[in-house]
Amino acid sequence: MPLTCQTLIQTYPAAWEKATTHPFLTGCHSGTLQPVQFNTWLVQDFLFVKAFTRMVGRVLAAAPDDHIDVLLAGLGALKDELLWFEAKASERSLNLSAPLQPTCQRYCEFMASLAIASYPVQATAIWAIEYAYNQGWQLPGPMPAPYTEFADRWGNPGFTDYVRLLAAQADAALSTASPDVEAQAEAAFLRVAELEAAFWQMAFASGDEGMGR
């Protein structure tokens, strides 16, 4: 049986749960998260998304022709998202030129390292990254202001549909992958899960990075 996105989640439920459920998210849902914690996360997430956009561009170069449209749609959405981040940062008087925190740095380095990976590995990683965000913001349920628009952006059904397309493309790529490539894709999935869990936790690691200009 070829490796699939679904079998990865079924094989590693504990790792995936840590990637998609965290006190950061439940704090947003309950309204108890401190604004400084959210702002710390938001600035680092902007820096992450810039690096992720570059990753998607590199994956696009390796993708088969019939996968290009979905990836291009993702890039278009990322362009809008970066502009949206800038608007949110302005509203909150945040400095988007803040340095990368170590967790974000490790995540960006991991994404850059995928440039030399085969396409099935890259496709698996993109799906896992996007699905973790989608589930993370969707699972807690409707969130109160000021976090409603963030949950709506990443947890909305349209984003879920996009993630399903990414899963289908990853599954198609994995269907003809060698055992070695399957093992690399599995390792990439687990690394994404680990980094996602650490990224949520990063919000509690610093009290003032990314604050006022």
Tell whether the model's pLDDT for residue 60 goes beyond 60.
yes
Query: Count of CB atoms within 10 A of residue 135's CB?
Result: 22
- Quickly state the pLDDT bin for 211 (edges 50, 70, 90): very low
Tell whether the model's pLDDT for residue 130 goes beyond 80.
yes
Tell whether the model's pLDDT for residue 4 goes beyond 60.
yes
| Ramachandran bin of 100, using left for φ above 0, alpha for ψ from -120 to 50, beta for the remaining angles | beta
What's the average model confidence in pLDDT over 113-140? 97
Backbone angles phi, psi at 189, to 5 degrees: -60, -45
Q: What is the reported pLDDT for 63?
A: 98
CA angle (108 as vertex; 102, 110 as ends), nearest 5? 105
Structural domains of the chain, ranges and CATH numbers in brackets: 19-202 (1.20.910.10)
Tell whether the model's pLDDT for residue 212 goes beyond 90.
no
Of residues 207 and 29, the one with the higher pLDDT is 29
**Total-model pTM:** 0.94
Q: What is the reported pLDDT for 209?
A: 39
Q: What is the 3 state secondary structure string of 86-147?
A: HHHHHHHCCCCCCCCCHHHHHHHHHHHHHHHCCHHHHHHHHHHHHHHHHHHHHCCCCCCCCC
Cis peptide before 146 (omega within 30 of 0): yes
- Quickly state the pLDDT bin for 206 (edges 50, 70, 90): low
Report the percent of the chain where pLDDT is more than 90.
Answer: 92
Q: What is the reported pLDDT for 210?
A: 37
With a CB cutoff of 8 Å and minimum separation 6, the contacts of 89 are 42, 43, 46, 95, 96
